[in-house]
Every structure is written in C-alpha cells, then in structure tokens.
Amino acid sequence: MTTPQNNQVAIVTGASRGIGAEVARRLARDGFAVAINYASSSKEAEALVAELSAQGANAIAVKANVADAGEVRAMFETTEQQLGKIDVLVNNAGVLKTVPLADTSDALYDQTFEINVRGTFNTLREAAARMNEGGRIVNFSSTTLALNMPGYAVYNATKAAVEAFTHVFAKELRGRHITVNAVAPGPIATSLFLDGKTEEQIKTFANMPPLQRLGQPEDIAALVSFLASADAGWVNGQILRANGGVA
Ligand code: NAP
C-alpha cells in the first residue's frame, strides 16, 4: 500500500524511539515527508526509515544532538536538501531522570537543561529563519509540571521553560502564519517513563487517571497529527495536556 503524499515536510526530533517514532509514523501516514532525528540510536532510526519507505513514505534519518546548535543547523540543511523546506517541526527529543533536587548532580542538571531546553531553543531559532509560511511547531512539555511530584524538580523546570518558549514564540512569529503549541503528556509507556520503575510504581501511575491506563505513544501521535493539520489552524500558543484526565 502506498501512502499519499501531501507535499509537506516534517522534522521530528528524537524520533528513533518512543513517542517520537510513533509521531513520525503518524505524520508519514498523514502524507508528510519525514526527517527522523536521533542522537545515538542509528539502528532504530534506520529501521524506521526502512519501515516507512516500504509503505511508500518519504523518510530520512538525520543524526544530530539537539543540544548542539551546529548539528541542529546541519539537520535543517540536510532536511531541506533531501526533502524540501520545512512545514512542521516537532520538538520531541527529551530526557528524564527523577532524582530529588538535593541529590541532583551538576552533570545531570546540565544534561537535562541542555537537551530539553537548549535543544528546543536551538530548533526554534533555526525554524524562525527557515520554516515555510503556514507551518506548525509542536513542542513537548509534560503533565508532571501540574503534578509537582517529588523527584521532578529539574525536569519540570525544563518543561516550564519549554512552555514559556511556546507562549512567547507564538507571538514572535506574528505575520508568518506559523502556529506554536506544546503537548503535555501524562505517563506514556516508553522507556523514558518505564525504566527504573517497579511493577508496583507503574501500576500506581496507570491507575491515576480516571481512564485507568498508561498513555501509549499513539495517543500523543494523534494529538500531534491534529496540531500539524490544517484543522488546527486556529490553535496557537497553547499547551494541550493529553493524560487521560490525571490533571
Ligand atoms: P524516550 O522513549 O526516552 O525517547 C527519547 C528520544 O529522544 C529518543 O529517540 C532519543 O534518541 C532522543 N534524544 C535524546 N537525547 C537527544 C538529543 N540530545 N538529541 C536528539 N535526540 C535525542 O522518550 P519519550 O518517552 O518518547 O519522550 C519523548 C518526549 O515526551 C520527551 O520530551 C519527554 O520529556 C516527553 N514526555 C514523555 C512522557 C512519558 O511518560 N514518556 C510524559 C510527558 C512528556 P537516541 O536514542 O538516539 O538518543
């Protein structure tokens, strides 16, 4: 079966695994040519390219550490050269390690801010100059920002910064017809959430929302697909929580 193309180009950061991989699949199904960004998981990224190509989609894998401005610039250049000018940017790449603030090392603090905040800053700055009119930017916050659970101080601080970028950048793009929104997922069954948790802890999280399950990457991909679509044209500068009703 071949996927109909919509002649638009999307970059999804951190798309080798987890939510980003599912967002890439969904946008490819929606007809976008997709640049699958990754930092180290080249096997997974190439496998996803092969999977999408077999379905008739146009997809490439692009290695870039989003925390590095030069690598981000090169990622945009490669994508433009191979797929065309960018219409959709999904800033999904992110890391989480839950540690009480008092026990957080300088290295963990730096790494979390470098990837989650500087990474988003780098791609937004590049997007400002390069994206097509009528484009869509989707940033990634987290519902943990509303839950204020112990262990999430540094991670939540990075996502608060991403939300601040979202609100201000939406206004700074006045006249370009580019929307800037953020999704704020609740717990999603990916390695970012599952790693290091006991069965018991996972069960507790799964029971928190009134819908009584963990979110799946597909739940978030559907929301990103909507925000990237023409139907979401009047949604701008917003944070959309998708969490089964937990907060
Ligand atoms: P994940 O399964 O751990 O996947 C993370 C992805 O980000 C991987 O593809 C990884 O690529 C990439 N990445 C990490 N550092 C990178 C860097 N410096 N440059 C480029 N790519 C990098 O995480 P996830 O659960 O899908 O999370 C995706 C986003 O959703 C994150 O922003 C996270 O904060 C947010 N979120 C997740 C949850 C949840 O419960 N899962 C809830 C709320 C929000 P490599 O493997 O190549 O390093």
Q: Using the mean position of ligand 1's atoms as its centre, give its distance from the Cα of residue 37 in Å.
A: 11
Question: What pLDDT is stored for residue 227 in this prediction?
Answer: 98
Mean pLDDT of 116-121: 99
Quick: pLDDT tens for 151-192.
999 999 999 999 999 999 999 999 999 999 999 999 999 999
Question: What pLDDT is stored for residue 5 in this prediction?
Answer: 87
- Closest-CA residue, ligand 1 atom 19, reads 65
Check whether 2 has a pLDDT greater than 70: no
Mean pLDDT of 209-230: 98
Q: Provide the CB-side half-sphere exposure for 246 (13 A, CA).
A: 27
Per-residue pLDDT band at 4 (split at 50, 70, 90): confident
Domains belonging to the chain, first-starting first, are 9-242 (3.40.50.720)
Per the annotation, the verdict on 155 as an active-site residue is: yes
Closest CA to 184 of 225, 226, 156: 156
Give every strand in the sheet of 33-38, ordered side by side.
Answer: 59-63, 33-38, 9-12, 88-91, 136-140, 179-185, 239-242
Q: Using the mean position of ligand 1's atoms as its centre, give its distance from the Cα of residue 175 in Å.
A: 31
Residues of the chain above pLDDT 70, percent: 99
Q: Using the mean position of ligand 1's atoms as its centre, give its distance from the Cα of residue 191 in Å.
A: 9
Quick: pLDDT tens for 106-115.
999 999 999 9
For a pocket test of ligand 1, which of 190, 193, 201, 202 has the largest count of ligand atoms closer than 8 A to its C-beta?
A: 190
Residue type, 71: E
β-bridge partners, 34: 10, 59
Question: What pLDDT is stored for residue 168 in this prediction?
Answer: 98
Question: What pLDDT is stored for residue 1 in this prediction?
Answer: 52
Check whether 246 has a pLDDT greater than 90: yes
Check whether 71 has a pLDDT greater than 60: yes
For a pocket test of ligand 1, which of 22, 25, 38, 72 has the largest count of ligand atoms closer than 8 A to its C-beta?
A: 38
Q: Is the dihedral of CA 117, 36, 235, 145 positive or negative?
A: negative
**Set 38, 109, 152, 155: catalytic member:** 155
139 lines ligand 1 (CB under 6 A): no
SS (H, E, C) 92-105: CCCCCCCCCHHHCC
Question: What pLDDT is stored for residue 3 in this prediction?
Answer: 67
How far apart (Å, rounded) are the C-alpha atoms in residues 224 and 160? 19
What are the φ/ψ torsions at residue 137 (nearest 5 degrees)?
-115, 130
Quick: pLDDT tens for 123-161.
999 999 999 999 999 999 999 999 999 999 999 999 999
76 lines ligand 1 (CB under 6 A): no
244 lines ligand 1 (CB under 6 A): no
Mean pLDDT of the chain: 97
**Class of residue 84 by CB neighbours under 10 A (exposed 0-12, middle 13-18, buried 19+):** middle
Closest CA to 192 of 115, 128, 134, 247: 115
14 lines ligand 1 (CB under 6 A): yes
